[in-house]
Amino acid sequence: MLTLRDVTVRYGDTAAVDHVSLDLGSGQVLAVLGPSGCGKSTLLRAVAGLEPLSAGSISWDGVDLAGTPTHRRGFALMFQEGQLFAHLTVARNVAYALRLRRTPSARLRARVRELLELVGLAGYDDRLPGTLSGGERQRVALARALAVEPRLILLDEPLSALDANLRERLAGDLRDILHAAGTTALLVTHDHEEAFALADRLAVMRAGRVVQSGGIDQVWREPVDEQTALFLGYARVLRDDAARLVLEAAGLPPAPAVAVRRSALVVDGAGPIRARVESARVTPEQVRLVVDAGGLGRLDAVASLGSRVSPGDEVAVRVDVTRVAVLPIVPAP
Amino acid sequence: MRRIAGLLLLAAGPVLVLGVLFVLPVSGMVGEGFLTDGRFTPGAVLEVLARPRVHRVAWFTLWTSAVATLLAVVLGLPAAYALHRLALPGRAAVRAALLVPFVLPTVVVGVAFRQLLGEGGPLGGLGLDGTPAAIVCGLVFFNVAVVVRTVGVAWESLDPRPGQAAAALGASPSQVLRTVTLPALRPAIVGAASIVFLFCATAFGIVLTLGGVRHATIETEIYLLTTTVFDLRAASALSVLQIVAVVALLALAARLRAVPDPTAQRAVAPARAVRRGDTAVVLATLVVLGAMLLPIVTLVLGSLSVGEGWGLANYRALTTVGDDQALVVPVTAALLTSLRTAVDATWMALLVGVTVSLIVTRRSHSVAERRVRSTLDGFFMLPLGVSAVTLGFGFLITLDRPPLDLRDSPLLVPMAQALVALPLVVRTLTPVLGGIDDRQRQAAASLGASPWRTLLTVDLPVVWKPVLAASGFAFAASLGEFGATSFLARDDTPTLPVVIFRLLGHPGEMNYGMALAASVVLAGTTALVVLAVERLRVPGVGAF
């Protein structure tokens, strides 16, 4: 298993990675989630051995990796744009690490075929990377990284260069492939959807520090502070009276702050909160509303498709308890 | 149609210039070899090509160039890496200094190596003076800089991430170099090697000063046949051989440069701090730099040594015509002629070069336009395939009679030099002009800018520095030009390189001392011009 203790990477005076400690058990997929510039890619490169540590240690199964250069770590790194070798065919890209290990050619060919099938690119052997689409290139990069069964695979925003449609499909595939291969993976991304699609565990990183880590649904349900909640996709944080009203309506004990998603308020005739519809917009799944709910102020809400609500209507709303998160501490506003 | 007409009008100037100054001399020269009294007689050419001496000369050209190219690449690669990828102290200064040998006048390099390897020189004990090894050393000295520059610029802009991806897949540093870095650099290395081979095979001043009559290459043999044996037919036969060989080489190089996927990923990586593993590379670079400095230092020291002591007597003698009236005019007068000639050659090269670059880099709007453009493109690249000596020889035998008698024109030498400098100008400007996104021009035009206005707002701000750099290069190249000039310069208005060569040919300690001093002056002048160019920081200048 991978253990990071107080890992620090400095560029001059600024610490890109600041005392980060993480554990990653075998077979798990950990996503490091953070906005761009938070140091997550530097952290990944440090684990790969591409950035020297200023302090702290990275170890695998208790063995410190400080003296081990990148190519002896037995990790595979998959870059954001794949970084396929443009002068080699798909098959030669995939076989790259196998050739380095002088794998007998019959085994090598069989393994390449198996890997290309695994990533859904059977028959692409002789194509050059330049002729592939972005998604295909990422798949080849994944096959290349998996070829020698690395003990850890490092993924740098593996899906973010792709368009939305492809991203969703490849995310599912990637998760299945990682699980089928039983690979331990460390993934960094700025996209919480990508993290949720792929990872079992989540670490939220901000300004070089890990501010929260844990199981993915635990982090999701209990964001540690307002910024984390907003980064995880919560629409806004309510405080004091507004928080009390929402929690009461949700049947939860009072707390000083609560984060709500856009879909936390649902139009429901039996709901305890009265609100006036200010605007309504139809989307493929539901009707998105902006409502003015007395003491709560102006908030997002949703109604099911087919419910006829229009601006000016008085509606009753309830709170969907799975769509709110109580924040433990509130930083001074 | 109007676009094509405009294009042809713009192209008319350069086409006319090249027609008169290039096609006419070359065809005249071919005629000299193949025609006897207006009849086609190829037998004479074949007879020349069958001579044992010609075989010896051709073989000598081939193997010295091949060995020198190999050495230049092997010595240049570590330096290219160290100077463009590692954060070495003072690397900017060293990179600038490396531009100097590239434009150092060939005669000066020849003189420096004679001083270095000759009797009493620091390396005189090796007994290399007058041997082929000395010639190879001179050629390598000249061309290491080309390799460092060309490969270095490519290496600098090489995306480091594929290498890191390979390392993460388990490739050791040497495996990364072999399987990722070198394949990615292949176009640059092949390009540098082929241009270096071309420079070596057509080197004139170095070979003539170091090899004389004994070790001749095709290039110096053409000169010797013309000026001492007066066998014009043999000279033109060799020139034709030379042109065919060079064109074949350029075509081969273009094929070798082609890579499976030319859309390389580019991103300039910040220089990396020097690590312990870099010791070998840094040491190799220091050795190369030392080897580059040695001849120059020897030259300067030699010019300052007078009898048993030191002094400026050799420099003071530059106002004289040397011992035994070795010269017709004093060296200082030749310096003035050189500067004047260089100014003329520069504006001519620039005028034609800028027009040609504009013509070949503009986007075509129709198939017919593209066809016209690519025909022009091919035509303008022709002078690349012809050496300076061939050009000078062609000028000599065609532009001395009606309809075009330029024998007495003071513009004859500048014209030849401008033609020699033309590829340098075009090579500096076309990447810059070609790199401008055509949509910028379209945006300007759609906002109501006329073609002239578009040129001013889009092209000029990007291109003025490269134009300045190109003129500096053309100026330096013209100052040092010896191949064509040696045929064309008149006795009473010689240029500095011609004077230096003449001084070397006359016995006498003072004449030799003056040759050294004049070489230092010439080298200093070109170095100043080139270092000024380097201050402009035009990316990729001097890279091929």
ipTM: 0.74
Interchain proximity B169–A86, CB inside 8 Å? no
* Architecture of the domain whose range is A241-326: Beta Barrel (2.40)
- Residue B13: inside a domain: yes
Name the helix (H) or strand (E) containing B40. Answer: strand B39-40
Domain count, chain B: 1
> Considering only CA atoms, which of B140, B128, B141, B131 is closest in space to residue B65?
B140
The average confidence (pLDDT) of chain A is 86
Q: A96 vs B260: CB contact, 8 Å cut-off?
A: no
Residue B269 lies in a domain: no
- Among residues B64, B527, B530, which one has the least CA distance to residue B299? B527
B271: its two tokens: 């220089």
Asked if A102 is an interface residue toward chain B (Cβ–Cβ < 8 A), one would say no
The reported pLDDT for the residue numbered B539 is 58
| CB neighbours of residue B268 within 10 Å | 12
Q: How far apart are CA B410 and CA B344, in angstroms?
A: 10
Count of H-run helices and E-run strands, chain B:
25, 6
Quote the pLDDT of residue B324.
Answer: 73
8 Å CB contact of A101 and B170: yes
Confidence of residue A299 (pLDDT cuts 50, 70, 90): confident
pLDDT at position B75 is 92
CA-CA distance, B110 to B118, in Å (whole number)? Answer: 11
Q: Rg (Cα) of chain A, in Å, rounded?
A: 24
Which CATH number belongs to the domain containing residue B475 in this structure?
1.10.3720.10
Spell out which residues of chain B touch residue A71, defining contact as CB-CB under 8 Å.
167-173, 175-176
Chain B environment of A100 (Cβ under 8 Å): 169-171, 175
Rounded to the nearest angstrom, the minimum Cα separation between A226 and chain B is: 36
For residue B469, which phi and psi values (nearest 5 degrees)? -60, -40
Would the CB atoms of B263 and A128 count as touching at under 8 Å?
Answer: no
* CATH of segment(s) A2-230: 3.40.50.300
Angle at B508 between CA B504 and CA B514, to 5 degrees: 55
| Helix B52-85 / helix B132-156 crossing angle, nearest 10 deg | 40
Phi and psi, residue B301, nearest 5°: -60, -40
C-alpha A76/C-alpha A147 separation (Å) is: 9
With CB atoms and an 8 Å threshold, state whether B170 touches A79: no
Domain that holds residue B453: 1-23+312-544
Q: Does some domain include residue B518?
A: yes
User: Residue B544 has what DSSP assignment?
Assistant: -
Answer whether residue B99 is part of any domain: no
Quick one: tokens of A78? 């998959």
In a domain, residue B296? The reply is: no
In a domain, B378, yes or no: yes
The separation between CA B210 and the C-alpha centre of its own chain, rounded to angstroms, equals 19
Domain spans of chain A, in order of start:
2-230, 241-326
CB B147 within 8 A of CB B76: yes
Does any domain span residue B323? yes
Please report, rounded to a whole number, the percentage of residues in chain A having pLDDT higher than 90.
21
Q: Would you state the structure tokens that stand for residue B301, as one six-digit string?
A: 């020291």
- Contact A67/A225 with Cβ under 8 angstroms? no
- Give the pLDDT band (50/70/90) at residue A124: very high
Distance CA(B80)–CA(B151), nearest Å, equals 6
**For residue B453, what pLDDT is reported?**
83
Using CA coordinates, name the residue in chain A closest to B180. A85
**CA B79 to CA A244: how far, in whole Å?**
70
Residues 135-164 of A with CB under 8 A from B: 141, 144-145, 147-148, 154
**H or E segment to which residue B478 belongs:** helix B460-480
Per residue of chain B (544 residues), what is the pLDDT tens digit?
677 787 788 888 888 888 888 888 888 888 877 877 777 777 878 888 888 888 999 999 999 999 999 999 999 999 999 988 888 888 878 887 777 777 788 888 888 888 888 877 778 777 777 788 999 999 999 889 889 888 888 888 888 888 888 888 888 888 998 998 998 888 888 888 888 888 888 888 888 888 877 888 888 888 888 888 888 888 888 888 888 888 888 778 777 766 554 444 445 667 777 777 788 888 988 898 888 888 888 888 888 888 777 888 888 888 888 777 778 888 889 999 999 999 999 999 999 989 888 888 877 777 788 888 777 777 776 776 677 888 888 888 887 776 677 777 788 899 989 988 888 888 788 878 877 777 787 777 777 778 788 888 888 888 888 888 889 888 988 998 888 888 888 888 899 999 988 888 887 788 888 888 999 999 899 888 888 887 776 655 555 5
- Asked whether residue A85 carries a pLDDT value surpassing 70, the answer given is yes
Rounded to whole angstroms, the Cα distance separating A104 from A101 reads: 9
Give the whole-angstrom CA distance, residue A33 versus residue A191. 7
B→A interface, C-beta within 8 Å: 159, 161-162, 164-173, 175-176, 179-180, 183-184, 186, 259-261, 263-265
